[in-house]
Amino acid sequence: MAKFSSGNRIPLKNGTAVVKNKLGEGGQGNVYLAEMNGCEYALKWYHTNSLKNPAKFYDNLINNIEQGSPSPVFIWPKDVTEIIDGEFGYIMDLIPSEYKCFSDFLLTREKFPSVRSVVNAALNITNGFRELHRRGFSYQDLNDGNFFIEPQSGAVLICDTDNVAPYGESLGIAGKARYMAPEVVRNLKAPDVMTDRFSLAVILFRLLFLDHPLEGKRTLCPCLTEELEQKFYGKIPLFIYDKQENSNRPVRGVHCNVIKLWDLFPGFIREKFSCVFSQECLHGQKPRPSDNEWQIAFTRLRDCIVKCPCGGDTFVDLNEDVSFCINCEGKIPRPPVLISKKYAAALFPGNNIYRCHIDVDSDDYLHKVGEVIRSRNRPDVWGLRNTSGYDWKVTLKDGTESILQNGRVQIIAVAKSIDFGGCVGLIAM
Amino acid sequence: MANIYDDVVEVARRTMVLFFVVDTSGSMEGSKIGTLNQAIEDVIPEISEISQSNADAQIKIAVLAFSNSAKWITPKPVPAEDFSWDYLNASGLTAFGDACSCLNEKLSRNAFMSEITGSFAPAIFLLSDGEPTDEYIDCLDDLWKNNWFRKAIKVAVAIGEDANKEVLADFTGDPDAVLTAHNPEVLRKMIRFLSVTSSQIGSKSSSVGKANPDAAPSKQDDFIEQVQIASNSGDFAEDEVLW
Ligand SMILES: [Zn+2]
C-alpha cells in the first residue's frame, strides 16, 4: 500500500490535498491529516486488497458524495482521490476534540453530566438514522467505535460513512457480532435498514444503560468463542429483561449499571426496548420499531424532563400527580402540561417547546418555538414565551381570548388553550 | 449536583491474554534477541492503547521464555497498561516441549484463565530460531487437546533459516500462520504487525457477515487474511538476508 509522508500531494476529483502526517491505521487502511485550500481534513487511504470489490466501493463513494450527506451528524465523504496505482481514498472533515468516542462513555473515561444530555444524544443519533434511511441508504456497520458525542449538549457525529450504501447494495462489510442483528450474525441476510434498526436499538440501550441488552447471566462464560457469540447474538439471543424468560437477567457485581439505571427510566421507554428485543423482533417475526417511533419516544422522554430542587434533571410522569426525583428521591408535583395531538410537554421553567408540539404534521424536535420562564419577581409564576416568529391565539380559563405576539409571555396558570394556527394545544394543570 | 450517571462504572469487559512464547536458547544471542526485546518493548504502548479504548475486552500480557527449560516471566497475565518488558537473555538449549507443557498447564480456568467476567480465546505468538532439543511431540499433542489452545489465535515467526518451520506449523496448526524473518528490520515489522493485529482481532467481538449460514466466523481466519494482505502489499519484503 502507498504510504504518504508530509508534503505529498494527492490529486482529488476536485482539487489537491497535501498530506501533513499520519493519524492512524486500521485493517481497512490508513488515515492522514491533510490540507486543502487552507483547511484541515482527514484523508482515508485504503488497502484495496482489504476491500471485496474496490471498483464498486469507489463508485459507491462517488455516489454518496453526489447524493450529499443526509444530516449534519454524518462525517460524510467530501471528495474522492484519483486512483493511483489501483489505490484510492477520500477526504472528510476532522472530528473536533470535544466530541468523545462512544466507547469512552462505556469505559467511563467520559460521563454524561445529566439525563438531558443523554436524551439529546439519543435523539440526535435516532434522527441521523431516520434521515439516512429516508434518503435510501443503510449504514450497515454500526458499533461503539463509529460515533462521537459531545457530553454536555449531546451533539453527535457519526463517522465511517464510507460503508454507507443504498438499500440492497452490499459492500461486503462485516460488522461486529455484538452490534449486528441476529440474522446478520447467522449470515442469513446482508445488512439493510431492518438490521440497522437492531444495531440502533443496541446503541440506544447502551447509551442509556451502558451494559449490553443481550448479556446477562446466561452469557457469562469462561471463554466466549466465535461459536458462543454465534449462539448468544445469532441463534438464541435473549433480552436481559425478557418478559417471558428470566434466565438471562443482569448479574449483580457484573452488570451493575443496567441494574441501577433500568428502573429509573419511564415505563414507555423500557417498553420500547422490551419490544425491540422481544423474541418476535429478535427473530424477525415482527418488524422492529422504526427510526421515527424511536424519535417520537425520545422526544416524549425529553418532554418529561424537569429540574429537581436538588439540582439534578429528572423525569416526571405526566399522568401522575406526584413523581419522585431519580437523583434524590424527593417529591416532585406534576408541572402544567401542554397537550397536543401526539405529544405532552412539561411546562417547567428552563424547558422549551418545539415545532413538533405546535404542528401536527411535524416531528421536528430541534426547531424551538417557545420557552418556559420563571417570573423574576415572583418565582412561583411561570410563563410561556412565544419565540415562533408569529402570533398565537390564547384562550384563558375565564373564556376570554387574546393574541400572544412573537416575543411576548403568557402566564401559564391562567391559560386554558393555545391556538398555534391550525393546531390547538391544551394546558392541563 | 446529583446525576444518575455520576457513579456508573466501566462496563464489564472480557479479557484477552496475549502470550509471547519466546525461544531464548543460545543461538538467539546477539541481534536476534536484541531486536526481539526492543520490538516487543516498542509495541507494548500500542497494545495498551488498544486495550484501554476497547469496550469489548481488556488485553493482558503473559510471557513464557524457553531455553534449557521453560519459565514464566509473568507469574500471571498482566494488564497491558501495567506491563513492562524485561529484556530477555539468550543461552542454553531449546526446550520447546517444556514450553508446550507450561502453556498447557496455565491455559486453564484454574490458572491464567480465571476472569469472573470471562475471556475471549487468547492470542499466542511464538518466536523461535531453532530446532527443539527435547522430546516435544507428546507435549505438543497434549497442548492441542486443550480447548483454550485450540480456540486461540496462533502465529509463529521463524527467525532465520535454521528455524524448524514444520514444528512451528505444527504449533500454529497452519503453515500460513508461520512467517520467516531474515533480518532485524523485518523481524521488528512482523513483531509489531502480528502483536497489534492479533490483539485487535482477539480482543474484539468477532466479525460476522462473511461465512455460510449459521457457520461461526473464525478469528484465526480473519487474522490470516490480514497477514496475507500485509504480505501481499510487500510490508515484509526482505532485501537483505542476515540470518
Ligand atoms: Zn432531586
Mean pLDDT over residues A182-211, rounded?
Answer: 94
Chain B residues touching A256 at Cβ < 8 A = 9
pLDDT tens digit sequence for A7-66: 999 999 999 999 999 998 877 789 999 999 999 999 999 987 778 888 999 999 999 999
Q: Which grid cell sits at A258?
A: 443496567
Q: How far apart, in Å, are the Cα atoms of A325 and each of A27, B26, B223?
A: 47, 69, 50
Burial A176-204 (b: 16+ CB within 10 A, else e): bbbbbbbbbbbbebbbbbbbbbbbbbbbb
Contact flag B210-A225 (C-beta cutoff 8 Å): no
Kindly state whether residues A45 and A140 are assigned to the same domain: no
Measure in Å the smallest separation between the Cα of A44 and chain B Cα atoms. Answer: 17
What's the CA gap between B189 and B207, in Å, rounded?
Answer: 25
Q: Does B7 reside within a domain?
A: no
Average pLDDT, chain B: 95
* CA separation, residue B48 to residues A143, B11, B17, B79, B129 (Å): 21, 18, 12, 8, 27
How far, in Å, CA of B208 to CA of B216, rounded? Answer: 8
- Quick one: A82 and A105 in the same domain? no
The C-alpha cell of A422 is what? 391550525
Residues A159 and A194 in one domain: yes
Tens digits of residue pLDDT in A296-308: 999 999 999 999 9
Query: Residue A381 has what pLDDT?
Result: 96
- CB-nearest partner of B9 from A108, A225, A229: A108
Question: Over pLDDT 70: what percentage of chain A?
Answer: 99
The answer, for A175 touching chain B at a CB cutoff of 8 Å, is yes
B1 Cα–ligand 1 center, Å: 9
Domain count, chain A: 3
Instruction: Return the closest-CA partner of residue A233 out of A216, A248, A249, A214.
Output: A214
Residues A282 and A398 in one domain: no
Residue B231: helix, strand or coil by DSSP? helix
Can you give the CATH number for the domain in which B151 is found?
A: 3.40.50.410
Strands (E), A13-119: 15-25, 29-36, 39-46, 79-80, 89-92, 100-101
Contact B217 A226 (CB under 8 A): yes
Domain that holds residue A202: 100-294
A27 found inside a domain: yes
Pairing outcome for strands A175-176 and A156-158: unpaired
Residues 103-132 of A with CB under 8 A from B: 103-104, 106-108, 111-115, 118
Nearest to A254 among B1, B117, B147 (CB): B117
Q: Same domain, yes or no, for A24 and A121?
A: no
Spacing, Cα A331 to ligand 1 middle (Å): 8
Q: What is the mean pLDDT of chain A?
A: 94
- Residue-wise pLDDT for A249-270, tens only, equals 999 999 999 999 999 999 999 9
The answer to whether A22 faces chain B, any CB pair under 8 Å, is no
Q: How confident is the model at residue B209 (pLDDT cuts 50, 70, 90)?
A: confident
| Closest chain B residue to the Cα of A258, Cα to Cα | B8
Distance from the B52 Cα atom to the nearest Cα atom in chain A, whole angstroms: 8
Q: Which of B136, B144, B159, B145 is nearest to B24 (CA)?
A: B159
Q: Is A184 on the interface with B (CB under 8 A)?
A: yes
Neighbours of A248 (CB within 10 A): 22
A359 and A225 co-located in one domain: no
ipTM surpasses cut 0.85: yes
In a domain, B224, yes or no: yes
Q: At residue A247, what are phi and psi to the nearest 5 degrees?
A: -80, -5
In a domain, A47, yes or no: yes
Domain's final residue, options A263, A294, A325 = A294
Where does the pLDDT of residue B232 fall: very low under 50, low under 70, confident under 90, or very high at 90 and above? confident
Per-residue pLDDT band at B208 (split at 50, 70, 90)? confident
Q: Which of residues 219-238 of B touch A (CB under 8 A)?
A: 219, 226, 229, 232-233
Nearest CA in chain B to A118: B5
Question: In this structure, is residue A63 part of a structural domain?
Answer: yes
Half-sphere exposure of A273 (CA within 13 A, CB side): 26
Instruction: Provide the angle, in degrees to the nearest 10, between the axes of the packed helices A267-276 and A291-303.
Output: 160
> What pLDDT shows up at residue A1?
67
Touching check for B52 and chain A: CB below 8 Å?
Answer: yes
Q: How far from each other are the two terminal CA atoms of chain B, in whole angstroms?
A: 65
> What pLDDT does residue A251 have?
97
- Which member of B2, B12, B54 has the closest CB to residue A311? B2
* Partner A contacted by B53 (CB < 8 A): yes
Last residue within a domain, chosen from A40, A69, A92: A92
Q: Which residues of chain B have a CB within 8 Å of the CB of A255?
A: 12
Pairs across A and B, CB distance < 8 A = 161
Nearest to B80 by CA among B160, B20, B158: B20
Region for A329 from its dihedrals, namely left if φ exceeds 0, alpha if ψ lies in -120 to 50, beta otherwise: left
- Within an 8 Å CB–CB cutoff, is residue B108 touching chain A? no
Task: Determine the Cα–Cα distance for residues A95 and A99; give it in Å rounded to an integer.
Answer: 7
- Vertex A386 angle, CA A380 and A389, to 5°: 165
pLDDT band at B1 (very low <50, low <70, confident <90, very high): low
Contact B11 A174 (CB under 8 A): no
Whether residue A210 and residue B11 make contact (CB cut-off 8 A), yes or no, is yes
Segment (H or E) for A315: strand A313-315
B110 close to A (CB below 8 A): no
Q: Evaluate whether B180 touches B157 at the Cβ level (below 8 Å).
A: yes
Q: What is the pLDDT of residues B56-98, one digit of tens each?
A: 999 999 999 999 999 999 999 999 999 999 999 999 999 999 9
B146 touches chain A (CB under 8 A): no
Q: Which amino acid is at A340?
A: S
Q: Which residues pair with A29 in a beta bridge?
A: A46
Same domain, A111 and A228: yes
pLDDT at A359 over 70: yes
Does A275 map to a domain? yes
Categorize the per-residue pLDDT at B214 as very low, low, confident or very high, splitting at 50, 70 and 90.
confident
Closest CA to A103 of B54, B169, B62: B54
CB contact under 8 A, B11 and A229: no
Neighboring chain B residues of A112 at a CB cutoff of 8 Å? 3, 5
What letter represents residue B165's amino acid?
Answer: K
Whether residues A111 and A86 fall in one domain: no
What band does B104 get if pLDDT is binned at 50, 70 and 90?
very high
Considering the domain architecture, whether residues A179 and A78 belong to the same structural domain is answered as: no
Residues counted in chain B = 243
Q: Domain boundary at A40, A66, A92, which?
A: A92
Same domain as A67, residue A111: no
Read off the DSSP letter of residue B82.
Answer: G
pLDDT at residue number B101: 98
Searching chain A, which residue's CA lies closest to the CA of residue B212? Answer: A187
| Cα separations in angstroms, A82 against A11, A75, A302, B82, B84 | 6, 20, 46, 44, 44
Q: A116: Cβ–Cβ under 8 A, 6 or more apart, which residues?
A: A154, A302, A305, A313
The number of folded domains in chain B is 1
Chain A contact probe: residue of B106, B206, B225, B229 with most A CBs at under 10 A:
B206
Query: What values do phi and psi take at A294, rounded to 5?
Result: -65, -40
Run of H or E including B155: strand B153-159
Residues in chain A: 429
Query: What would the mean pLDDT of A374-380 be, rounded to a whole number?
Result: 93
- pLDDT tens per residue across span B14-62: 999 999 999 999 999 999 999 999 999 999 999 999 999 999 999 999 9
Among chain B residues, the shortest Cα distance to A87 is held by: B233
Q: What is the pLDDT of residue A166?
A: 87
Instruction: Let me know whether A372 and A287 are in one domain.
Output: no
Q: CA nearest A308 in B: which residue?
A: B2
Q: How confident is the model over A85-143, as pLDDT tens digits?
A: 889 999 999 999 999 999 999 999 999 999 999 999 999 999 999 999 999 999 988 89
Q: Which of A323, A384, A386 is nearest to A351 (CA)?
A: A384
In a domain, B181, yes or no: yes
Please name every residue paired with A402 in a beta bridge, in sequence order, or none if there are none: A394
pLDDT at A170 over 80: no
Residue A3 confidence (pLDDT) = 82
Q: Which residue of A has its CA nearest to B198?
A: A27
Which of B5, B106, B192, B201 to mutate to test binding with chain A, by most A CBs within 10 Å of its CB? B5
Task: For residues A70 and A115, state if they share a domain.
Answer: no
A212-to-A127, A203, A245, A257, B113 alpha-carbon distances in Å: 22, 9, 17, 10, 23
- Domain holding B228, by residue range, is 14-206+216-232
- Which residues in chain A have Cβ-Cβ distances shorter than 8 Å to B8? 108, 111, 210, 257, 260-261
Residue A166 phi/psi, 5-degree rounding, is -60, 150
Please give the average per-residue pLDDT across A344-351, as a whole number.
96
CATH number at residue A44: 3.30.200.20
Q: Are A17 and A81 in contact (CB under 8 A)?
A: yes
User: What gap in Å lies between CA A117 and CA A206, rounded to an integer?
Assistant: 14
Residue B76 lies in a domain: yes
Nearest to B208 among A101, A180, A254 (CB): A180
pLDDT in the model for residue A191: 87
Are the CB atoms for A198 and A183 separated by under 8 Å?
A: no
Nearest to A220 among B6, B118, B217 (CB): B118
Of A215, A223, A326, the CB nearest to B113: A223
**Quick one: cell of A90?**
477520500
For residues A327 and A339, is the Cβ–Cβ distance under 8 A?
no
